[in-house]
Amino acid sequence: MSARRRILAVLGGAAAALCLVTGLIAVQASAAAGCRVAYAVASQWNGGFGASITVTNLGDPLSSWQLRWSFTAGQTVTQGWNATFSQSGSTVTAVNVDYNGSLATNASTTIGFNGSWSGSNPVPSAFTLNGVTCTGSVTGSPSTSPSTSPSPTPSITPTSTPGPPPTGLVGWATQGGGTTGGGNASATTVTSSSALTSAASGTNPAVVRVSGTISCSGMIRVGSNKTIVGNSGAVISGCGLNVSEASNVIIRNLTFRNWNDDAINVQYSTRVWIDHNTLSNGYDGAIDVKRASDYVTVSWNHVHSHDKTMLLGHSDDNGGEDRGRLRVTYHHNYFDGTNQRHPRVRFGNPVHVYNNYYRNVGGYGVASTEGAGVLVECNYFENTGDPYHLGEGDSGPGSLVARNNHMTGSGAGQTGGSVASIPYPYTCDTPSQVKSIVTSGAGAGRISV
């Protein structure tokens, strides 16, 4: 079943405080209280689904919170993140964790879960936050003035333009609750490395638009719930973006040049979408995913004039963290005269490589190593002597299944073993048409943002 996104916005007043956890703060009748909830089914499959919930506190600041709702069709929560989930019958309670318990006035936090369903999967009809029905309005008078953000530096220009919706998201980043980045947060435009560093930090939802050329060195860290998107012609030169210990991140429409570490590094992070970027002439990896990261989609990127392209899993010795994770989808990427790692895979299973165009690849295309399981399908290999193989360097072999690939002036490749099934819906383009599809659509500047 194709992914569905549903948004629920609920209006209302105060209700009696219902606390399941000792120490939660009851809402006083004289205090300002109110909340808004957006519930999204990010992906759904036979018997299961992933959902994300954004909670906005409209009342007085909270130091801790619990969100409660009821399912009406027998759904159950099976796994959650960014909150502690419990369920009694149809009633689900989500309690904050240590890093997101404080919610200032008008502040939001996003949580998510995987669940099971049978027959139907309707959206819950009502939510309460610390016992107050979320209605989108406020009761009582604020006891404190709403907090305001510090004035931005001159190089940060707030705008009201929303970031791009995650249209076209396919693959592993649709799983685990889906990937929405900064969502509909008002965008902030940055023109310097210091402004980008500031805007990309923290965990509050944010849409950060890069304008012009930002020159920098090293790595700029990107926090959770962020969309980093380039305006037309946006360039990051000399440095890269480090998505570390984060979740729900989107990076789109940027040109990376001459980075002195990695262009985009993802580590200890989940639900990341890297889409429609152009990358060239860097030092190390163009897009590397490692250290227990999971639920990542790398799509419609153009890499040229570069050696080490996309590494998945950094070390043969890191299986304790990486096994059962490192699930990544690579689709519609343009590997243009690059040399190796398209991708090189350790441990992840299944890793999905489909509808990519490989042109004049010098070393090898795809390598499956260290017990990984890689499905290579519907790609277009042109003048690529070694399109895919098992093992690489000192790394032992994994499994690789290849099917429906188009070969022009390329080798036969090496396959072996089996790969776990792909859990999400996708469509393979006709392999012989992938070259024209990818060259006309991949890279920065090919989408409207």
Q: Is the peptide bond before 166 cis (omega within 30 degrees of 0)?
A: no
What is the pLDDT at residue 144? Answer: 43
Pairing of strands 328-331, 334-336: unpaired
Residue bearing tokens 């012989």: 432
Residue 372, both tokens: 């990984």
Specify whether 282 is located in the same domain as 322: yes
- Does 148 fall in a domain? no
What is the pLDDT at residue 146? Answer: 39
Closest CA to 138 of 49, 35, 229: 35
Specify whether 402 is located in the same domain as 287: yes
Of the candidates 142, 171, 197, which is a domain's last residue? Answer: 142
Strand ranges, E, within 223-372? 226-230, 235-244, 247-252, 255-257, 264-267, 270-275, 278-280, 287-290, 294-299, 302-304, 311-312, 328-331, 334-336, 344-346, 351-354, 357-359, 366-369
Q: What's the whole-number average pLDDT of the chain?
A: 86
What is the pLDDT at residue 292? Answer: 98
Specify whether 180 is located in the same domain as 41: no
Q: Is 346 a catalytic residue?
A: no
Of the candidates 85, 118, 142, which is a domain's last residue? Answer: 142
Specify whether 290 is located in the same domain as 378: yes
What is the pLDDT at residue 10? Answer: 32
Specify whether 166 is located in the same domain as 121: no
- Does 174 fall in a domain? yes
- Does 173 fall in a domain? yes
Specify whether 245 is located in the same domain as 329: yes
Specify whether 250 is located in the same domain as 277: yes
pLDDT of 272 strictly over 60: yes
CATH number of the CATH domain containing 271: 2.160.20.10
Closest CA to 416 of 356, 366, 382, 379: 366
CA dihedral 435, 441, 443, 445 (to 10 degrees): 150
Specify whether 176 is located in the same domain as 118: no
Specify whether 198 is located in the same domain as 312: yes
CATH number of the CATH domain containing 74: 2.60.40.290
CA distance 362 to 159: 44
Residue range of the domain that includes 385: 156-441
Specify whether 182 is located in the same domain as 138: no
More confident residue, 281 or 78: 281
pLDDT of 71 strictly over 90: yes
Residue 143, both tokens: 């006891």
Specify whether 124 is located in the same domain as 175: no
More confident residue, 19 or 91: 91
Query: Which amino acid would we find at residue 101?
Result: G
pLDDT of 101 strictly over 70: yes
Least confident of 127-136, 205-214, 314-323, 382-391: 127-136
Which of 209, 252, 325, 341 is the catalytic position?
A: 341
Residue 61, both tokens: 């600041």
CA distance 303 to 52: 32
Residue 95, both tokens: 């309690």
Domain count, the chain: 2
